[in-house]
Amino acid sequence: MHRYKNTHLWLLIPFFITLFGFSRYWLGFTDAPLEWHLHGLSAVGWYLVLLAQPWVVNNLSVAQHRKLGMIGIMIAGAVVASTLNVISGNLDINSGPRVALKYSTSLAELITVAGFAFSVIAAIFNAKNVDKHAQWMISTVFWVLPPATTRLAFLIAIGIFGSPENFPFHPFILGALNVLILVIILAYLIIRYYRKFKLWAVPYIVVGVFTLLRIFIMFGLKDAAWVKGFIEAIFG
């Protein structure tokens, strides 16, 4: 367990990145619709569970860790349900940068939330294997980081260049760059773990592959007719 005694401290980094990335939501909290609240608060709840679990198992007991894990499962379910609801709502957006690749973006987000759910389930099934359990749990952060880091980069770009119309690049380039940075971080974790233990960190490999796939989905498919049909069939 001692290898993960400081994990909660490292997880504070993506937690605060997510808070800052969605700062517009927090600043306009009272004006946000109910579905945004369900999504935002459940996501924060999941982060808090992830932050607490390494500390609980190292400083309290495995029993307390399991009790908190049961609460975490319910929160994870709320994250998945609320994310699907937000994706559905975003299909009604007909202005702004998202419109150009609306259906491809929705497909990427659908794969992301499916990956998040898969990692949670895999963590549950590997509960008796400390390394696998911890890695699957930590990988949930990497599934949900791209929307937060992209929004944070977008806010920074607006601060530098003003409105998106003044960007010297297409706004979606920010999303692609954020994905690449995330993949580099995952590659570092994979290589570091392999060098130390001669084992592959499968959860990080899975999320890394599908994170790269986001770029192809958004910029390669470009709202192809079958993508639009697939998304509309799912979300009606």
pLDDT band at 96 (very low <50, low <70, confident <90, very high): low
Record the tokens describing residue 105, joined without a space: 């973006």
Q: What are 53-91's pLDDT values in tens digits?
A: 999 988 888 899 999 999 999 999 999 999 999 999 888
Instruction: Please compute the mean of the pLDDT values over residues 175-202 and round it to a whole number.
Output: 90
Residue whose structure tokens are 């008796």: 128
- Helix (H) or strand (E) holding 54, with range, is helix 34-59
Chain-centroid distance of CA 134 in Å reads 16
pLDDT digits (tens, 9 = 90+) for 5-44: 788 888 999 999 999 888 888 888 888 888 888 999 999 9
Q: Which of the four pLDDT bands, split at 50, 70 and 90, describes residue 148? A: confident
Structural domain total, the chain:
1
* C-alpha distances in Å from residue 14, one per residue of 31, 73, 89, 205: 25, 20, 25, 19
Domain boundaries, position 128 = 2-235
Q: Of all residues in the chain, what percent carry a pLDDT higher than 70?
A: 97
Q: Which are the contacts of 131, defined by CB distance < 8 A and separation ≥ 6?
A: 197, 199
**Which amino acid, one-letter code, is at 114?**
A
Q: What is the pTM (predicted TM-score) of this model?
A: 0.90
- Evaluate if residue 226 carries a pLDDT over 80: yes
